Amino acid sequence: MDDVTTRIETALETALRTATGAGDCPPQLAAAVRHAVFPGGGRVRPRLCLAVAAACGDDAPAISTAAAVSLELLHCASLVHDDLPCFDNAATRRGQPSVHYAFGERLAVLVGDGLITLAFEQLAHHTQSHPERLVALTKIVGRSVGISHGIVAGQAWECEPRVELTDYHRQKTAALFAAATEAGAAAAGQPSQLWYTLGEQLGLAYQVADDIRDVASTPEAIGKPIGQDVAHQRPSATTDLGLDGAMARLKTLVETASASIPHCPGADRLRQLIQHEMRRLLPAELAQWVITE
Protein backbone atom coordinates (compact mmCIF):
# COMPACT_ATOMS: atom_id res chain seq x y z
CA MET A 1 0.00 0.00 0.00
CA ASP A 2 1.21 3.53 -0.69
CA ASP A 3 1.36 6.03 2.18
CA VAL A 4 -1.98 7.66 1.41
CA THR A 5 -3.75 4.31 1.19
CA THR A 6 -2.26 3.25 4.52
CA ARG A 7 -3.30 6.55 6.09
CA ILE A 8 -6.89 6.16 4.88
CA GLU A 9 -7.28 2.45 5.71
CA THR A 10 -5.73 2.87 9.16
CA ALA A 11 -7.98 5.81 10.00
CA LEU A 12 -11.10 3.99 8.79
CA GLU A 13 -10.07 0.95 10.82
CA THR A 14 -9.60 3.09 13.96
CA ALA A 15 -12.91 4.91 13.45
CA LEU A 16 -14.82 1.65 13.13
CA ARG A 17 -13.02 -0.06 15.98
CA THR A 18 -13.78 2.85 18.30
CA ALA A 19 -17.44 2.96 17.23
CA THR A 20 -18.14 -0.77 17.41
CA GLY A 21 -15.68 -1.96 20.05
CA ALA A 22 -17.30 -0.62 23.21
CA GLY A 23 -19.36 -3.74 23.93
CA ASP A 24 -22.58 -1.74 23.64
CA CYS A 25 -22.70 -2.20 19.89
CA PRO A 26 -24.86 -5.16 18.84
CA PRO A 27 -22.56 -7.80 17.26
CA GLN A 28 -24.45 -8.11 13.98
CA LEU A 29 -24.54 -4.34 13.54
CA ALA A 30 -20.77 -4.20 14.14
CA ALA A 31 -20.20 -6.90 11.51
CA ALA A 32 -22.54 -5.22 9.03
CA VAL A 33 -20.88 -1.83 9.45
CA ARG A 34 -17.51 -3.45 8.83
CA HIS A 35 -18.85 -5.23 5.78
CA ALA A 36 -20.02 -1.88 4.38
CA VAL A 37 -16.60 -0.24 4.73
CA PHE A 38 -14.09 -3.08 4.13
CA PRO A 39 -12.77 -4.01 1.69
CA GLY A 40 -13.11 -0.60 0.07
CA GLY A 41 -13.40 0.45 -3.52
CA GLY A 42 -11.02 3.04 -4.93
CA ARG A 43 -11.28 5.32 -1.85
CA VAL A 44 -11.44 8.02 -4.52
CA ARG A 45 -13.05 10.75 -2.40
CA PRO A 46 -10.70 10.51 0.60
CA ARG A 47 -7.70 10.38 -1.76
CA LEU A 48 -8.91 13.52 -3.48
CA CYS A 49 -9.48 15.25 -0.15
CA LEU A 50 -5.98 14.43 1.09
CA ALA A 51 -4.43 15.48 -2.23
CA VAL A 52 -6.02 18.92 -1.95
CA ALA A 53 -5.10 19.17 1.74
CA ALA A 54 -1.47 18.43 0.78
CA ALA A 55 -1.56 21.08 -1.93
CA CYS A 56 -2.81 23.53 0.73
CA GLY A 57 -0.04 22.79 3.22
CA ASP A 58 -1.87 20.18 5.37
CA ASP A 59 -0.91 21.89 8.65
CA ALA A 60 -3.25 19.67 10.73
CA PRO A 61 -3.07 16.15 9.29
CA ALA A 62 -5.42 14.72 11.95
CA ILE A 63 -8.14 17.03 10.66
CA SER A 64 -7.62 16.27 6.96
CA THR A 65 -7.57 12.55 7.77
CA ALA A 66 -10.85 12.92 9.68
CA ALA A 67 -12.36 14.81 6.74
CA ALA A 68 -11.21 12.05 4.37
CA VAL A 69 -12.69 9.36 6.63
CA SER A 70 -15.93 11.28 6.95
CA LEU A 71 -16.35 11.48 3.17
CA GLU A 72 -15.66 7.78 2.71
CA LEU A 73 -18.13 6.81 5.45
CA LEU A 74 -20.82 8.93 3.80
CA HIS A 75 -20.03 7.35 0.46
CA CYS A 76 -20.31 3.85 1.97
CA ALA A 77 -23.61 4.83 3.63
CA SER A 78 -25.03 5.96 0.31
CA LEU A 79 -24.00 2.69 -1.35
CA VAL A 80 -25.65 0.60 1.35
CA HIS A 81 -28.94 2.48 1.05
CA ASP A 82 -28.64 2.58 -2.75
CA ASP A 83 -28.42 -1.21 -2.83
CA LEU A 84 -31.62 -1.69 -0.77
CA PRO A 85 -34.49 -3.64 -2.36
CA CYS A 86 -36.56 -0.46 -2.76
CA PHE A 87 -33.78 1.16 -4.83
CA ASP A 88 -31.35 -0.95 -6.91
CA ASN A 89 -32.01 -4.24 -5.12
CA ALA A 90 -28.37 -5.12 -5.78
CA ALA A 91 -27.17 -8.49 -4.48
CA THR A 92 -23.49 -7.65 -4.85
CA ARG A 93 -21.24 -4.63 -4.26
CA ARG A 94 -17.47 -4.41 -4.58
CA GLY A 95 -17.46 -8.07 -5.54
CA GLN A 96 -19.11 -9.30 -2.32
CA PRO A 97 -22.73 -9.63 -1.16
CA SER A 98 -24.38 -6.25 -0.55
CA VAL A 99 -25.10 -5.40 3.10
CA HIS A 100 -28.85 -6.11 2.96
CA TYR A 101 -28.18 -9.35 1.11
CA ALA A 102 -25.71 -10.52 3.78
CA PHE A 103 -27.32 -9.03 6.92
CA GLY A 104 -30.94 -8.28 6.03
CA GLU A 105 -32.75 -5.11 5.18
CA ARG A 106 -33.17 -3.80 8.73
CA LEU A 107 -29.46 -3.84 9.47
CA ALA A 108 -28.74 -2.29 6.07
CA VAL A 109 -31.00 0.67 6.89
CA LEU A 110 -29.30 1.02 10.29
CA VAL A 111 -25.78 0.71 8.87
CA GLY A 112 -26.46 3.65 6.55
CA ASP A 113 -27.89 5.75 9.39
CA GLY A 114 -24.99 4.82 11.65
CA LEU A 115 -22.33 5.65 9.06
CA ILE A 116 -23.86 9.08 8.35
CA THR A 117 -23.76 9.82 12.08
CA LEU A 118 -20.23 8.48 12.45
CA ALA A 119 -19.07 10.71 9.60
CA PHE A 120 -20.05 13.85 11.52
CA GLU A 121 -18.73 12.48 14.81
CA GLN A 122 -15.34 11.82 13.20
CA LEU A 123 -15.03 15.49 12.30
CA ALA A 124 -15.81 16.58 15.86
CA HIS A 125 -13.40 14.09 17.42
CA HIS A 126 -10.40 15.56 15.60
CA THR A 127 -11.03 19.30 15.54
CA GLN A 128 -10.74 20.14 19.25
CA SER A 129 -7.58 22.19 18.49
CA HIS A 130 -9.23 24.07 15.58
CA PRO A 131 -12.97 24.16 16.35
CA GLU A 132 -13.61 26.84 13.71
CA ARG A 133 -12.60 24.29 11.08
CA LEU A 134 -15.36 21.99 12.35
CA VAL A 135 -17.91 24.67 11.48
CA ALA A 136 -16.58 24.89 7.92
CA LEU A 137 -16.21 21.12 7.48
CA THR A 138 -19.67 20.27 8.83
CA LYS A 139 -21.26 22.77 6.45
CA ILE A 140 -19.28 21.46 3.46
CA VAL A 141 -19.88 17.81 4.20
CA GLY A 142 -23.52 18.34 5.21
CA ARG A 143 -24.40 20.18 2.02
CA SER A 144 -22.86 17.41 -0.06
CA VAL A 145 -25.13 14.68 1.35
CA GLY A 146 -28.19 16.71 2.26
CA ILE A 147 -31.70 17.42 1.15
CA SER A 148 -31.09 20.48 -0.98
CA HIS A 149 -27.89 19.90 -2.97
CA GLY A 150 -26.47 16.55 -1.91
CA ILE A 151 -26.66 12.82 -2.42
CA VAL A 152 -30.11 12.57 -0.82
CA ALA A 153 -31.47 15.16 -3.26
CA GLY A 154 -29.78 13.43 -6.19
CA GLN A 155 -31.19 10.07 -5.24
CA ALA A 156 -34.65 11.59 -4.72
CA TRP A 157 -34.66 12.95 -8.27
CA GLU A 158 -35.02 9.29 -9.28
CA CYS A 159 -38.51 9.46 -7.74
CA GLU A 160 -39.56 12.45 -9.88
CA PRO A 161 -41.23 12.18 -13.30
CA ARG A 162 -38.67 14.51 -14.99
CA VAL A 163 -35.02 15.14 -14.23
CA GLU A 164 -32.21 17.13 -15.87
CA LEU A 165 -29.21 14.81 -16.30
CA THR A 166 -26.50 17.25 -15.22
CA ASP A 167 -28.46 18.42 -12.15
CA TYR A 168 -29.03 14.81 -11.18
CA HIS A 169 -25.34 13.89 -11.51
CA ARG A 170 -24.25 17.11 -9.84
CA GLN A 171 -26.16 16.13 -6.71
CA LYS A 172 -25.90 12.37 -6.74
CA THR A 173 -22.15 12.15 -7.38
CA ALA A 174 -20.41 15.47 -7.96
CA ALA A 175 -21.57 16.97 -4.64
CA LEU A 176 -19.45 14.56 -2.60
CA PHE A 177 -16.45 15.09 -4.90
CA ALA A 178 -16.82 18.85 -4.50
CA ALA A 179 -17.00 18.30 -0.75
CA ALA A 180 -13.78 16.30 -0.99
CA THR A 181 -11.81 19.13 -2.59
CA GLU A 182 -13.44 21.82 -0.43
CA ALA A 183 -12.92 19.80 2.75
CA GLY A 184 -9.27 19.21 1.84
CA ALA A 185 -8.74 22.97 1.75
CA ALA A 186 -10.89 23.69 4.84
CA ALA A 187 -9.10 20.98 6.85
CA ALA A 188 -5.84 22.80 6.14
CA GLY A 189 -7.37 26.10 7.27
CA GLN A 190 -7.66 27.53 3.74
CA PRO A 191 -10.70 29.09 2.05
CA SER A 192 -12.62 26.29 0.41
CA GLN A 193 -14.72 27.92 -2.31
CA LEU A 194 -11.94 28.13 -4.91
CA TRP A 195 -11.75 24.36 -4.80
CA TYR A 196 -15.39 23.64 -5.57
CA THR A 197 -15.09 23.49 -9.37
CA LEU A 198 -12.23 20.98 -9.30
CA GLY A 199 -14.26 18.51 -7.25
CA GLU A 200 -17.50 19.14 -9.08
CA GLN A 201 -15.99 18.57 -12.54
CA LEU A 202 -14.12 15.46 -11.39
CA GLY A 203 -17.32 14.16 -9.84
CA LEU A 204 -19.29 14.69 -13.02
CA ALA A 205 -16.44 13.01 -14.94
CA TYR A 206 -16.49 10.08 -12.54
CA GLN A 207 -20.25 9.67 -12.94
CA VAL A 208 -19.99 9.75 -16.74
CA ALA A 209 -17.20 7.15 -16.52
CA ASP A 210 -19.48 5.07 -14.29
CA ASP A 211 -22.31 5.32 -16.81
CA ILE A 212 -19.89 4.24 -19.57
CA ARG A 213 -18.69 1.29 -17.51
CA ASP A 214 -22.31 0.28 -16.89
CA VAL A 215 -22.72 -0.38 -20.63
CA ALA A 216 -19.12 -1.13 -21.72
CA SER A 217 -17.56 -3.19 -18.93
CA THR A 218 -18.10 -6.56 -17.21
CA PRO A 219 -19.43 -7.39 -13.72
CA GLU A 220 -16.04 -8.96 -12.88
CA ALA A 221 -14.14 -5.79 -13.77
CA ILE A 222 -16.33 -3.44 -11.71
CA GLY A 223 -17.45 -5.77 -8.88
CA LYS A 224 -21.18 -5.11 -9.37
CA PRO A 225 -23.86 -5.96 -11.95
CA ILE A 226 -23.80 -4.04 -15.26
CA GLY A 227 -26.76 -2.73 -17.25
CA GLN A 228 -28.31 -1.23 -14.10
CA ASP A 229 -29.13 2.18 -15.57
CA VAL A 230 -31.27 0.72 -18.35
CA ALA A 231 -32.76 -1.90 -15.98
CA HIS A 232 -33.86 0.79 -13.52
CA GLN A 233 -34.62 3.41 -16.21
CA ARG A 234 -32.16 5.74 -14.54
CA PRO A 235 -30.84 8.85 -16.23
CA SER A 236 -27.45 8.02 -17.81
CA ALA A 237 -24.90 9.86 -19.95
CA THR A 238 -24.72 7.01 -22.48
CA THR A 239 -28.52 6.86 -22.85
CA ASP A 240 -28.62 10.63 -23.32
CA LEU A 241 -25.50 11.22 -25.44
CA GLY A 242 -24.55 7.83 -26.87
CA LEU A 243 -21.18 6.21 -26.12
CA ASP A 244 -19.14 8.63 -28.26
CA GLY A 245 -20.95 11.66 -26.87
CA ALA A 246 -20.38 10.44 -23.31
CA MET A 247 -16.66 9.95 -24.03
CA ALA A 248 -16.37 13.48 -25.42
CA ARG A 249 -18.14 14.88 -22.36
CA LEU A 250 -15.80 12.99 -20.07
CA LYS A 251 -12.75 14.46 -21.80
CA THR A 252 -14.08 18.03 -21.47
CA LEU A 253 -14.87 17.54 -17.78
CA VAL A 254 -11.39 16.25 -16.93
CA GLU A 255 -9.79 19.16 -18.80
CA THR A 256 -11.98 21.73 -17.06
CA ALA A 257 -11.19 20.16 -13.69
CA SER A 258 -7.46 20.30 -14.28
CA ALA A 259 -7.60 23.92 -15.47
CA SER A 260 -9.58 24.99 -12.39
CA ILE A 261 -6.90 24.15 -9.82
CA PRO A 262 -6.18 27.38 -7.91
CA HIS A 263 -2.66 28.78 -7.84
CA CYS A 264 -0.89 27.21 -4.84
CA PRO A 265 2.51 25.68 -4.07
CA GLY A 266 1.26 22.15 -4.66
CA ALA A 267 -0.73 22.80 -7.87
CA ASP A 268 1.56 20.95 -10.30
CA ARG A 269 1.91 17.92 -8.07
CA LEU A 270 -1.90 17.86 -7.61
CA ARG A 271 -2.47 18.01 -11.37
CA GLN A 272 -0.22 14.96 -11.82
CA LEU A 273 -1.97 13.11 -9.01
CA ILE A 274 -5.38 13.73 -10.56
CA GLN A 275 -4.25 12.40 -13.92
CA HIS A 276 -2.87 9.35 -12.16
CA GLU A 277 -6.14 8.80 -10.27
CA MET A 278 -8.31 9.20 -13.36
CA ARG A 279 -6.16 6.66 -15.16
CA ARG A 280 -6.61 4.26 -12.25
CA LEU A 281 -10.40 4.67 -12.39
CA LEU A 282 -10.97 4.21 -16.08
CA PRO A 283 -10.63 1.08 -18.20
CA ALA A 284 -7.26 1.30 -20.02
CA GLU A 285 -8.65 2.09 -23.47
CA LEU A 286 -10.76 4.93 -22.07
CA ALA A 287 -7.94 6.40 -19.98
CA GLN A 288 -5.66 6.68 -23.00
CA TRP A 289 -8.30 8.58 -24.88
CA VAL A 290 -9.37 10.91 -22.07
CA ILE A 291 -6.12 11.80 -20.32
CA THR A 292 -3.68 13.78 -22.43
CA GLU A 293 -0.44 14.74 -20.75
Least distance to a second copy, CB of residue 241, Å = 23
Residue number, 81 or 213, with CB nearest to a second copy: 81
| Closer residue to a second copy in complex, CB, 80/250 | 80
CB of 271 to a second copy, least distance (A): 30
Cα–Cα dist 95/100, whole Å: 14
Kindly tell me which of 26 and 265 has the beta carbon lying closer to a second copy: 26
3-state helix, strand, coil in the chain (%, to 5): 70, 0, 25
Q: Smallest distance from the beta carbon of 39 to a second copy, in angstroms?
A: 19
d(CA 281, CA 275): 10
Q: Which one, 96 or 117, has the nearer CB to a second copy? A: 117
Closest CB to a second copy among 218 and 233? 233
Which of residues 112 and 184 has its CB atom nearest to a second copy in the complex?
112
Least distance CB 120 / a second copy (angstroms) = 4
Q: How far is the CB of 69 from a second copy (least distance, A)?
A: 14
| Residue 122 Cα to chain centre, angstroms | 16
| Cβ-proximal residues to 104 (8 Å cutoff; 6+ apart), any chain | none
Minimum separation from the CB atom of position 15 to a second copy (A): 10
Contacts to a second copy by CB under 8 A: 18-22, 24-30, 33, 77, 81, 84, 86-87, 104-107, 109-110, 112-114, 116-118, 120-121, 123-125, 127-128, 131-132, 134-135, 138-139, 142-143, 145-153, 155-160, 167, 171
92 phi and psi angles, rounded to 5 deg: -130, 155
Residue 160, judged by CB atoms within 10 A of its CB (0-12, 13-18, 19+), counts as exposed
Give me the phi and psi of 94, to 5 degrees please: 50, 40
Return the number of the residue (145 or 246) whose C-beta is nearest a second copy: 145
186 class by beta-carbon count within 10 Å (0-12 exposed, 13-18 middle, 19+ buried): buried
Name the E strands within the chain. 92-93, 96-97
39 upstream amide cis, omega within 30 of 0:
yes
Distance of closest approach, residue 104 Cβ to a second copy, in angstroms: 7
Q: What does the alpha-carbon distance between residue 293 and residue 275 come to, in Å, rounded to a whole number? A: 8
